[in-house]
C-alpha cells in the first residue's frame, strides 16, 4: 500500500456533478415531494370540516398541528437510528410509515379525533423524510455547489409537493371532497419498490462502518473520471476511537452556540411558515379573495419558496456570508407579512404572500443545509433531525396560535403581526451561529490508498 492517500471527504467534495449525482438528487426529490405534499395538505381540509365537525379556531389549527407532533417525534428519533443503522433503511422506513397512514386517513378519518390521531401517526414517517434526505444529499454534494445542489435535490421536491397539494385543493376537492388529498398522497406506495431497488447507502456512512467495497463502487459512479484509480486502490477505513452521544456532541463547547442559534431560529421560522401556510387559504377568503385564488395562494408560496431558496443558496455558494444572507431573507420575509397587517388589497396580498414564500420558506431550506454542513458526519443526521424536531415545536404552535388569535380578535391582523416579527427575530438569532467548518483530511475517518504508479486524474 502506498503512503499516498486520497481523503474520501475531499473526493466527494471536489467532484463534478455527474449523472449519478443527478440520479440520487432526483430520488431525494421524489421522497421530499411526498413529504411536502403530505405536510401542507391539511390546510385545504379546514375549509370543508370546520362546519360539519363544529370546530373552533384552536381546534382547526390542531388539524394541522397534529401531524407536526408526529413529525417532531420522528425527526428527534430518526437521527439516532440513521447514524447507527444507516440512511437508506431509515428513509425507506419513513416512507412506509407515511404511505400506510396516509392511506388509512383516506379510509378511516371521519371525525376530528380520528383525523388528528392518523395525522400524528403519519407525522412519524414525515419526520424522517425531509431531514434525512437533507443529510443524505449533503453527504454527497460537491462543495462548490453544495447549497444549490441540495436545493435542487431536496427543496424542489418539497416545494413541488406543497404546490401539488394546493392544486389538488383548488381543482379536485370541490368535486371529490377533501379525502381526495389523501387518496392521491397514498400514491407514495408506488415509489417504494423503486427505492428498495435503486437507493444506495450514503457513502460517508459506509466509510464509518468500514464497508470499503461499497464505498469504492459508489465513488466509481459519482466520479467516473477516477474509476480506474478506485478500482485498483485499497481502502483503509478507520473507525472513530470514541463514539460520543450525538445529542451530547451538539451541545459541546465548540458546537453549543451554533446549536442553540440554529434551534432558536428554526423554531421561529417554522412558527411563521406553518402559522401562515396553515391559515392563508381561509384568511384570504375572509379578506375578499375568491375560493380558487385563496387556495392558490398556498401553491404560490411553495413555488416562490423554491425560487427563494435557490437564489439564496446560489448567493451563499458564490459569496459565502451564509448567516448574514439567511438573516436578510428572513428580515425581508417578516416585513412582507407585516404589510398584510397594514394593507388589504389584492396587489398587496399577492406581493406579500409571494415574498413571504420566497424569503421565509426559502431561508428555511438553506438553514437545513447550513445545519448539515455545521457538524461532523457521525452527528450530522442527528443534528438535522434535532433542528427540525425543535423547529416542529414552533410549527405546532404556529397554526394553534394563529387560530386562537383569529378566534379572539376576529381578525387576521394579530396573526400577521406575530408572524412578521417572529421572522425578523429568526434572522437576528441566526447571526450568533458560527460559520460551518470545512471537513479536512485530519477529521476524515476514511482514506483511499493509491497503489504505486497510479495516476491521479485532475478535476
List, for residues 401-425, the tens digit of each pLDDT value: 988 888 888 888 999 999 999 999 9
**% of the chain at pLDDT higher than 90:** 41
- Residue 54 φ/ψ region, left for φ over 0, alpha for ψ in the -120 to 50 degree band, beta for the rest: left
Least trusted range by pLDDT, from 27-41, 268-282, 362-376, 428-442: 428-442
Rounded Cα distance between 32 and 400, Å, is 25
Q: Does residue 448 surpass a pLDDT of 80?
A: no
Identify the pLDDT of residue 5. Answer: 57
| CATH number reported for the structural domain that contains residue 94 in this entry | 1.20.1250.20
Q: Please, which pLDDT band fits residue 216 given cuts at 50, 70 and 90?
A: confident
- Higher per-residue confidence, 374 vs 9: 374
Q: What is the pLDDT of residue 243?
A: 54
**Distance of alpha carbon 384 from alpha carbon 366, whole angstroms:** 12
Q: How confident is the model at residue 246 (pLDDT cuts 50, 70, 90)?
A: low
As a whole number, the mean pLDDT across the chain is 84
Lowest mean pLDDT segment, chosen from 33-47, 294-308, 375-389, 438-452: 438-452
Does the residue 456 lie in any domain?
no
Give a yes or no: residue 224 inside a domain.
yes
How many structural domains compose the chain? Answer: 1
pLDDT beyond 70 at 436: no
DSSP string, 87-115: HHHHHHHHHHHHHHHHHHHHHH--SHHHH
Residue 330 lies in a domain: yes
pLDDT above 50 (res 449): no
Query: 288 lies in a domain?
Result: yes
Cα three-residue angle 446-441-76, rounded to 5 degrees: 65
Distance between CA 459 and CA 454 in Å, rounded?
16
pLDDT at 125: 93
Is residue 446 scored above 60 in pLDDT?
A: no
Which range marks the domain in which residue 19 is found? 5-449
Question: What is the DSSP secondary-structure string of 211-255?
Answer: -HHHHHHHHHHH-GGGHHHHHTPEEEE---S----HHHHHTSHHH
Per the domain annotation, does 455 fall within a domain?
no
**In this model, does residue 110 exceed pLDDT 50?**
yes
- The x, y and z cell numbers of residue 144, run together, are 462548490
Is 277 part of a structural domain of the chain? Answer: yes
Q: What is the pLDDT of residues 297-312, one digit of tens each?
A: 988 998 899 899 889 9
pLDDT given at position 241: 46
* Partners of residue 448 on adjacent β-strands: 6, 235
pLDDT tens across 131-155, in order?
Answer: 888 878 877 888 777 777 877 888 8
Q: Which of 13-17, 92-96, 101-105, 135-139 has the lowest mean pLDDT?
A: 135-139
Is there a domain that residue 135 lies in? yes
Residue 457 lies in a domain: no
pLDDT of residue 351: 96
Q: Which band of pLDDT confidence, cut at 50, 70 and 90, is reported for residue 372?
A: confident
Residue 430: per-residue pLDDT: 96
Q: How far does CA 288 lie from the centroid of its chain? A: 33
Task: Please indicate whether residue 431 or residue 70 has the higher confidence score (pLDDT).
Answer: 431
Helix, strand or coil, per DSSP, at residue 2:
coil
Give the pLDDT score at 6: 59
The predicted structure's pLDDT at residue 91: 94
Residues 455 and 116: their CA atoms lie apart, in Å, by: 60
Single out the residue of 38, 17, 66, 282 nearest to residue 160, CA to CA.
Answer: 38
Q: Rounded to whole angstroms, how far apart are CA atoms 268 and 253?
A: 24
Contact 308, 329 (CB under 8 A): yes
Amino acid at each position: 500500500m502506498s503512503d499516498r492517500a486520497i481523503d474520501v471527504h475531499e473526493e466527494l467534495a471536489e467532484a463534478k456533478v455527474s449523472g449519478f449525482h443527478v440520479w440520487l438528487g432526483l430520488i431525494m426529490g421524489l421522497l421530499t415531494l411526498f413529504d411536502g405534499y403530505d405536510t401542507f395538505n391539511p390546510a385545504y381540509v379546514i375549509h370543508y370540516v370546520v362546519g360539519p365537525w363544529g370546530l373552533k379556531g384552536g381546534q382547526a389549527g390542531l388539524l394541522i398541528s397534529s401531524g407536526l407532533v408526529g413529525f417532531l417525534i420522528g425527526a428527534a428519533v430518526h437521527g439516532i437510528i440513521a447514524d447507527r443503522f444507516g440512511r437508506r433503511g431509515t428513509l425507506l422506513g419513513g416512507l412506509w410509515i407515511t404511505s400506510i397512514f396516509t392511506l388509512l386517513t383516506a379510509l378511516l378519518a371521519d371525525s376530528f379525533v380520528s383525523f388528528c390521531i392518523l395525522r400524528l401517526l403519519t407525522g412519524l414517517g414525515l419526520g424522517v423524510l425531509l431531514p434525512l434526505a437533507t443529510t443524505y444529499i449533503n453527504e454527497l454534494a460537491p462543495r462548490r455547489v453544495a447549497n444549490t445542489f441540495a436545493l435542487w435535490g431536496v427543496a424542489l421536491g418539497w416545494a413541488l409537493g406543497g404546490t401539488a397539494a394546493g392544486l389538488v385543493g383548488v381543482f379536485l376537492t370541490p368535486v371529490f371532497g377533501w379525502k381526495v388529498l389523501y387518496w392521491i398522497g397514498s400514491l407514495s406506495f408506488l415509489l417504494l419498490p423503486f427505492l428498495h431497488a435503486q437507493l444506495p447507502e450514503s457513502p460517508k456512512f459506509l466509510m464509518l462502518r468500514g464497508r470499503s467495497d461499497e464505498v469504492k463502487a459508489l465513488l466509481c459512479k459519482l466520479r467516473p473520471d477516477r474509476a480506474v484509480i478506485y478500482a485498483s486502490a485499497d481502502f483503509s477505513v478507520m473507525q472513530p476511537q470514541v463514539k460520543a452521544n450525538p445529542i451530547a456532541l451538539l451541545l459541546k463547547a465548540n458546537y453549543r452556540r451554533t446549536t442553540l442559534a440554529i434551534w432558536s431560529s428554526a423554531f421561529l421560522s417554522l412558527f411563521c411558515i406553518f402559522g401562515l401556510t396553515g391559515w392563508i387559504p381561509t384568511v384570504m377568503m375572509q379578506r375578499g379573495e375568491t375560493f380558487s385564488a385563496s387556495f392558490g395562494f398556498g401553491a404560490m408560496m411553495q413555488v416562490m419558496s423554491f425560487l427563494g431558496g435557490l437564489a439564496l443558496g446560489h448567493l451563499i455558494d458564490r459569496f459565502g456570508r451564509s448567516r448574514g444572507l439567511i438573516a436578510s431573507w428572513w428580515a425581508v420575509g417578516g416585513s412582507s407579512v407585516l404589510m398584510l397587517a397594514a394593507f388589504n388589497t389584492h396587489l398587496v396580498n399577492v406581493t406579500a404572500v409571494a415574498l413571504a414564500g420566497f424569503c421565509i420558506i426559502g431561508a428555511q431550506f438553506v438553514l437545513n443545509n447550513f445545519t448539515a454542513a455545521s457538524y461532523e458526519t457521525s452527528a450530522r443526521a442527528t443534528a438535522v433531525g434535532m433542528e427540525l424536531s425543535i423547529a416542529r415545536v414552533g410549527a405546532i404552535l404556529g397554526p394553534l396560535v394563529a387560530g386562537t388569535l383569529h378566534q379572539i380578535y376576529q381578525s387576521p391582523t394579530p396573526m400577521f403581526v406575530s408572524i412578521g416579527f417572529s421572522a425578523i427575530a429568526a434572522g437576528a438569532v441566526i447571526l450568533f451561529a458560527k460559520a460551518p467548518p470545512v471537513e479536512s483530511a485530519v477529521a476524515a475517518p476514511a482514506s483511499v490508498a493509491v497503489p504505486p504508479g497510479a495516476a491521479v486524474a485532475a478535476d
